[in-house]
Amino acid sequence: MPEIKLENVSKLIDQKPIVDNVSIEIPDKSLFCILGPPRSGKSMVMRLIAGLEIPDKGRILFDGEDVTSLGPVERKVAVAFQDFALYPHLTAFDNIASPLKLMKLPKDEIRRRVMDVARYLKIDHRLTHYPSELSGGEKQRVAIARALVKDAEVILLDEPLVRLDYKIREDMRAELYKIQREVGKNVILITSDPLDAMSLGERIAIMNEGKVLQLGTMEDLYETPANILVGRYFGVVEMNIFDGEVVKTNDMISIKTKIFEASFKNTGNLPEGKVKIGLRPEHMSIVELSGKKEINFKGKIVLTEVVGSDTIVHIDAGLKELLRVSVPAIYRRQIGEGIEVGFNAESLYIFSSEDEKLLARGGDLIG
Q: Do 203 and 311 fall into the same domain?
A: no
pLDDT number for residue 130: 94
User: Which structural domain, as residue segments, surrounds residue 348?
Assistant: 240-365
Q: Do 176 and 203 fall into the same domain?
A: yes
Instruction: Kindly state whether residue 231 falls inside one of the protein's structural domains.
Output: no
Q: State the Cα angle at 69 between 67 and 75, rounded to 5°.
A: 45
Instruction: Kindly state whether residue 232 falls inside one of the protein's structural domains.
Output: no
Q: Report the CATH number at residue 351.
A: 2.40.50.140
Instruction: Kindly state whether residue 207 falls inside one of the protein's structural domains.
Output: yes
Q: Do 190 and 246 fall into the same domain?
A: no
Element (H, E) at 59: strand 57-62
Instruction: Kindly state whether residue 233 falls inside one of the protein's structural domains.
Output: no
Q: Hey, how many other C-beta atoms are within 10 angstroms of the C-beta on 320?
A: 8
Higher pLDDT, 153 or 291: 291
Q: Report the CATH number at residue 99.
A: 3.40.50.300
Q: State the Cα angle at 350 between 316 and 21, rounded to 5°.
A: 115
Q: Do 285 and 358 fall into the same domain?
A: yes
Higher pLDDT, 328 or 170: 328
Q: Do 66 and 194 fall into the same domain?
A: yes
Mean pLDDT of all residues belonging to the chain: 91
* Pairing state between β 186-191 and 154-158: parallel
Q: Do 221 and 245 fall into the same domain?
A: no
Residue 74, pLDDT above cutoff 80: yes
Boundary-marking domain end, from 168, 199, 226? 226
Element (H, E) at 338: strand 338-343
Number of domains composing the chain = 2
- The pTM of this model reads 0.87
- From the number of C-beta atoms within 10 Å of its C-beta (0-12, 13-18, 19+), residue 338 rates as exposed
Instruction: Kindly state whether residue 235 falls inside one of the protein's structural domains.
Output: no
pLDDT number for residue 68: 96
Higher pLDDT, 264 or 33: 33
Q: Do 204 and 270 fall into the same domain?
A: no
List, for residues 349-358, the tens digit of each pLDDT value. 999 999 999 9
pLDDT number for residue 173: 79
List, for residues 270-316, the tens digit of each pLDDT value. 889 999 999 999 999 999 999 999 999 999 999 999 988 999 999 99
pLDDT number for residue 367: 61
Contacts with 95 (C-beta within 8 Å, 6 or more apart), sequence order: 86, 87, 131, 142, 146
What does the pLDDT average to over 120-148?
88
Q: Do 152 and 10 fall into the same domain?
A: yes
